[in-house]
Amino acid sequence: MEVNGQELLNHSAKEIKRCIDEAAIALRQGRHVAVVSSNRADAVAESRQAGEVLGMNSIEVSDHIARHLGLIAADLVRVGVEGLFLTGGDTAVSVCRALGTSIMRVQGEVAPGIPFGYLHTGPFAGLKVVTKAGAFGHEEVIMQSLDVMLNQQGVNL
């Protein structure tokens, strides 16, 4: 599911609710859910333009979107997500903050430089997590991560 950055800037609560509602339905149906912000040039430009209207520069727009992705992830964990694949450093940090933790216990690597483990502290301690730098790794890493998490104690990602 793609988060609409422009809507997130202009109507945060409405866009967060839309994302959580759609993802919760999919999770209850036993499906895997991916929540992403778009990197399409037109969507990025629309988000930046919406941010400019609000007096935000491009860094503030990115921070706002990452922070709200963290809030969406935290709400989805409460719905029943047992594992997270986090890509992009700002997003990973924002999700961890929203989940009330800053410590991940690393158990291994999905691929070189792409750790998997679990949150070590906070209300969601034990939650399985894979982190990947935004520009690092290849597309197959997402499927490899899912495989690792599903085969590490039957995680529902």
pLDDT (tens digit per residue) in 105-124 = 999 888 888 899 999 999 99
Which class is 82-157 in CATH?
Answer: alpha beta
> 46 pLDDT exceeds 90?
yes
Distance CA 12, CA 66 (A): 12
Read off the pTM: 0.82
Where do you find CATH 3.40.980.20 in the chain?
82-157
Please list, in sequence order, all residues whose beta carbon lies within 8 angstroms of the beta carbon of residue 45, skipping any fewer than 6 positions away.
none
* C-beta atoms surrounding 85 within 10 Å: 22
Angstrom distances, CA of residue 22 to CA of 32, 65, 68, 142: 12, 18, 16, 21
Percentage of the residues of the chain whose pLDDT score is greater than 90 = 52
Q: What are phi and psi of 106, to 5 degrees?
A: -80, 130
Do the Cβ atoms of 71 and 19 come closer than 8 Å? no
Distance CA 44, CA 145 (A): 27
